[in-house]
Structure 1
Amino acid sequence: MNYTKVLNIEPGNAICYSGFREGQCPGLVYPSYEQIKEDLLLLNGHWKYLRLYDCDEHSETVLEVIKKEKLNFKVMLGAYIVAEKNNYGCPWGGGTYPKEKLEKNKIYNENRIKKLIRLANQYPDIIFSLSAGNEACVEWTDHYVPVESVINYVRMIKQGAKQPVTFCENYVPWLNKLKPLVEEIDFISIHTYPVWEYKNIHEAMEYTKENYYSVADTYPHKPVVITEAGWTTYSNGRGIDPNNVSEEYQKTYINDLVNWSHVATILTFVFEAFDESWKGSSEALEPEKHWGLFKVDRMPKLVMESFFSGFNMSK
């Protein structure tokens, strides 16, 4: 099923955007108006659709910049919901919390959803879709939320806002545990990362297609959007073979991904615009830090060099 009718948008390039720079991170230090403006001017003209993960201070500034600077972006805005249940299977041991914390988290999540609704109504001409959460149901998550809770949040959003509603998750849960959620949302949003599943660059694109069609063929009556797909440029060897990552491999995968998405008419959000040094472990080669098409200093990686060959941050 074609996403353009459900979302009332035209085909276009899409990318995940999080603007945290060196020394910044969510909850502590946020990018300034001018820093976000600088980022969006870099992205403007190359991407039409942006995905934002949370309705936090960062997203509020992004929406303000788009409106005040009259930039040509449409936004998928999410609410980042946190753990409501312990996940003892989290591989890095981050999925267990005291009962009191889980109870407070439920209140936090409800308030986050309410804020998502407020922003959706404040910026109806910019925000084209809404997400009730991100990677909160997959077996390895450190912020596990039961499917029943996600369904309740989707219903809250639908009652309070007019934009189409989704939930962003790894492709695997959509094949089984998220089936009850499918009829509640307007479109399905999947994540696919071949390099995390030990695929090399020669296997990557076919594996991405397999992931996509495994979900799309299961639910032919629902549009399926890819809200994350990308290729990191460094790895410390934990989970991703360092031999499988480089700027050259990223360029190959992103170009193949974008070309296929255009031909197949699939809305695909590339992960992600800029490297984020706050993510993951403190190791410099931590793969979570290096998915950007631009480095953390905003210099373009190989995949973008042909468009920004004369770019200089000092200008």
Structure 2
Amino acid sequence: MEYRNAICYSGYREGQNPREGIYPTYQEIKEDLLILSHNWSALRLYDCGTHARLVLDVIRDEGLDFKVMLGADVAAEMNNPNCPWGAQFSEETLEKNRQHNKEEIDRLIELANAYPEVVGYVSVGNEASVEWTDHLISVEKLVEHVQKVKDNISQPVTFCENYVPWTYKLDALVEVIDFISLHTYPVWEYKTIDDALEYTKQNYRDVADRHPGKPVVITEAGWATASNGRGIEAWNASEELQAAYYDQLLQWTRDEKILTFVFEAFDEPWKGDNHPEEPEKHWGLFKVDRTPKLVMQSLYG
């Protein structure tokens, strides 16, 4: 896999929310991408809907130098009793989700073919097999999705997932994807900054050693800058810790030429619950008002 500076991008600002159908405008996305173009040349997107289409339009129409990993936003096709927050669905809902997923995979194919100069790789889903997921899909169905996509596009195909399932349950999927995409979050697993990079390296090695010969990239790695204590201890989330982890991660992945999509570009206030320090809202290298956090101030100050 060609090494590039890469980052996960979702452009939702204050008052915008994909669940409510309130999306960033063309001009807002253009502003974001001009900011990001100073330091990154690969973006990861998470769905094939309104937001993703506009991002692809902006990149093409403005002549920006980005390669995009385009992702399918898939929903639960089966209930997961291990999901900590419940997320149990009726059979009627699951059947609607299966139809949504079929249509989303079709959109993935459509966009990959419509923007071949922009879309460099595609993913058939995100965290849909990990033990705690609220949108569980069987490995067999993921394999079907991959095979359908590969039959209809020319770009490499992957699936993005927490590192753990790659070590024991996704062997059949590895057979059909072009490369493995893993997520690693030491701070979610109560690691301190002193242990964080070595933990990330071990996550990567565990997956790479399980699947020799298959390329492995990192499609999410990051550090939260605020927390109310839900899942991440408040003292272990700060701009200083984010900057330290980012610098260590970047040095290692550059030295090893491991394509790594940092999570994430901008804070997303629509995520999680209503608490202002809900950690899901605070992973951006930039604040929601687009001002740089500490990690970016030397480049954007």
TM range (shorter): over 0.9
Q: Which runs of 5+ in 1 are unaligned?
A: 5-10, 310-315
Q: How does 1:192-207 map to 2 (within 5 A)?
A: 192-207=184-199
| 1:266 partnered with 2:258 | yes
| 1:182 partnered with 2:174 | yes
Q: Which runs of 5+ in 2 are unaligned?
A: none
1:141-176 alpha-carbon deviations (Å, 9 max, x no partner): 111111111110001100111100000000000011
What is the deviation of 1:227? Answer: 0.1
Between 85-94 and 261-270, the greater mean CA deviation after superposition:
85-94
What is the deviation of 1:93? Answer: 1.5
In 2, the alpha carbon distance for the partners of 1:143 and 1:58 equals: 21
2:222 paired residue number: 230
What is the TM-score with the length of structure 1 in the denominator? 0.94
Counterpart residue type for residue 174 of structure 1? W
1:313 paired residue number: none
What is the deviation of 1:88? Answer: 1.5
| 1:283 partnered with 2:275 | yes
In 2, the alpha carbon distance for the partners of 1:89 and 1:219 equals: 26
Counterpart residue type for residue 86 of structure 2? G
What is the deviation of 1:75? Answer: 0.3
Counterpart residue type for residue 248 of structure 2? D
2:70 paired residue number: 77
What is the deviation of 1:238? Answer: 1.4
| 1:257 partnered with 2:249 | yes
In 1, the alpha carbon distance for the partners of 2:119 and 2:15 equals: 29
Count of residues paired in the alignment? 300
- Specify which of 120, 130, 149 is matched with residue 141 of structure 2: 149
In 2, the alpha carbon distance for the partners of 1:159 and 1:291 equals: 36
Q: Tell me the percent identity.
A: 60
Counterpart residue type for residue 53 of structure 2? E
Counterpart residue type for residue 85 of structure 2? W
In 2, the alpha carbon distance for the partners of 1:56 and 1:277 equals: 20
| 1:103 partnered with 2:103 | no
Counterpart residue type for residue 195 of structure 2? E
In 1, the alpha carbon distance for the partners of 2:81 and 2:22 equals: 31
1:200-255 alpha-carbon deviations (Å, 9 max, x no partner): 01100000000001001111110000000000000111111111111000000001
> SS at 1:307's partner residue?
helix
> SS at 2:64's partner residue?
coil
Poorly superposed stretches of 4+, deviation over 4 Å: none
Q: How does 1:1-315 map to 2 (within 5 A)?
A: 3-4=1-2, 11-27=3-19, 28-94=21-87, 96-309=88-301
In 1, the alpha carbon distance for the partners of 2:218 and 2:68 equals: 15
**Backbone CA RMSD of aligned residues:** 0.7
Between 19-28 and 29-38, the greater mean CA deviation after superposition:
19-28
> SS at 1:149's partner residue?
helix
Counterpart residue type for residue 193 of structure 1? Y
